[in-house]
Structure 1
Amino acid sequence: MTIRHHPDDATLLSYAAGTLPEALAVAVSAHVALCPRCRHGIRTAETVGGALLDSGSAAEIAADALDRAMARIETRAGGVATPEPLPDVADARVPAPLARRLGAGLDDIRWRWIAPGVRSHEITVSPGSGSLMLLKIAPGKSMPDHGHGGTELTMVLDGSYSDETGRYGPGDVADLDESIEHSPMVDSEVDCVCLVALEAPTRFKGRIARLLQPYLRI
């Protein structure tokens, strides 16, 4: 796999600092699982951040700080959280962090029809942390021309598409903000399946697409 498009440096820094909204963080973690370059960048950012903390002046810590921290990682059932085992997902197209969310390969996903040649599958994230979904688009089909109300991260899992910013294949990430308007078109011979993370709803330019947006949930 040759990855040509990566999240912006600012996005990787936010991910390393733990400040990305959950939906965006899932998309970055899926890309990082496949991308040695971005893994190295995140390790560097974490090292620099740790050095800055070490060089800072000492601050007073509340007496109950440890208890409060432990309470945040307890499960609802009252036990201490343990790492979630990786589901048995035998699909090389699905990076491990995404497999934990899906629990299934792409061929086993229950898709929702939203337009001719376009299907979606919503992935649950915490309220107020953006939206996360899979989009499956047939060869030759394109998404309506649109802009963004915030950051949009789109990672290709299978197939490929092209737009005004370039061509994207498996592992590639389009890291877009409010300044970008585009109309992605699938240029592969197979369906293009993408993981899409949105900080805010998409801004469609066409009247029909705007009217259908509540149904499209994009």
Structure 2
Amino acid sequence: MTVLHHLDRNTLLRYASGDLDEAFAAIAAAHLALCEDCRRDLRAVEELGGHFLEHGDAADLSGDALSRIMARIDAAEASGGSIRPKRPPAPAAHQEVPLPLQRYIGSSLSEIPWKFVAPGVHRHRIRLEKPSGSSFYMLKIASGMAMPEHGHGGAEMTLILSGAYRDALGRFGPGDIADLDEHVEHQPRVEPGAPCICIVATEAPTRFKGLLSRLMQRVIGI
């Protein structure tokens, strides 16, 4: 599996510090199980955090904190330090459903109890273990189908489990994650040949463009 789209650096920092809510943390953990690059960066951030604790360094976690942390890691490597692990963790064994998601949806995509919500679109809502303001659900979108152009009312994280789609940001296939905020607008179109199955966490409802799309949103419920 070749992963092309990764967790945002600030998301990775929030995950390492335990600052993500349940839905977003579950999707981030699932991507980490599939992405060697993000696992390596997470290990680097955690090891640097241990370095701060051991030596009493203060860390400002605002703004571009992770970029500054990664720059310090690179500087340590250049000077012969050992903050970044020399070898990345071994890749996770291939599973249809990444282990961090199996407690929520089981181990097989074929057993998901899909609900028809519109032609070409099926949804499965996921129950969270703790009350949360976030929504957590799966979508199965038919081959060749384009979703209406839309933006986001807050953070949205989408992990592709099967199939693929394309939008202005590129191609998203299995293991890729779309880690988006309220500034991104896009129109995903599923590639021909197979439906796209993805798992989604959102802070706020999707903002569809156009009257027809907004009416459709009431039916789809996302």
Q: What TM-score, normalized by structure 2, do the two folds share?
A: 0.78
Aligned to 1:43: 43
Matches within 5 A, 1:80-119: 92-119=95-122
2:34 aligns to what SS in structure 1? coil
Letter in 2 for 1:96: L
Query: 1:199 corresponds to which residue?
Result: 203
**Consecutive unaligned residues in structure 2, runs of 5 or more:** 58-93
Q: Is the 8 A contact 1:23 1:199 kept in 2?
A: no
Matching of residue 132 in structure 1 with residue 136 in structure 2:
yes
Distance in 2 between residues matched to 1:140 and 1:174, nearest whole Å:
19
Shift of 1:152: 1.0
Aligned residues, how many? 185
Supply the distance in 2 between the matched residues of 1:9 and 1:42 (Cα, whole angstroms). 10
Q: Residue 33 of structure 1 aligns to a residue in which SS?
A: helix
Displacement after TM superposition at 1:198 (Å): 0.8
TM-score (norm 1): 0.80
The runs of 5 or more residues in structure 1 that have no matched partner are 58-90
Shift of 1:158: 0.5
Work out whether residues 151 and 186 of structure 2, in 8 Å CA contact, stay in contact via their aligned partners in 1: yes
In the other structure, the counterpart of 1:23 is 23
- 2:186 corresponds, among 182, 185, 189, to 182
The offset of 1:177, in angstroms, is: 0.9
1:192 to partner: Cα distance? 0.6
Q: How far off its partner does 1:104 sit?
A: 4.2
Alignment partner, residue 159 of structure 2: 155
CA distance in 2, matches of 1:99, 1:206: 37
Give 1:146's match in structure 2, choosing from 145, 150, 162.
150
- Which amino acid counterpart does residue 4 of structure 1 have in structure 2? L
User: What residue number does 1:173 align with?
Assistant: 177
* Paired residue type of 1:55: H
**How far apart are 1:54 and its partner, in Å?**
3.0
Aligned to 2:34: 34
Contact 1:159 1:192 in 2 (8 A): yes
Paired residue secondary structure (1:120) = strand
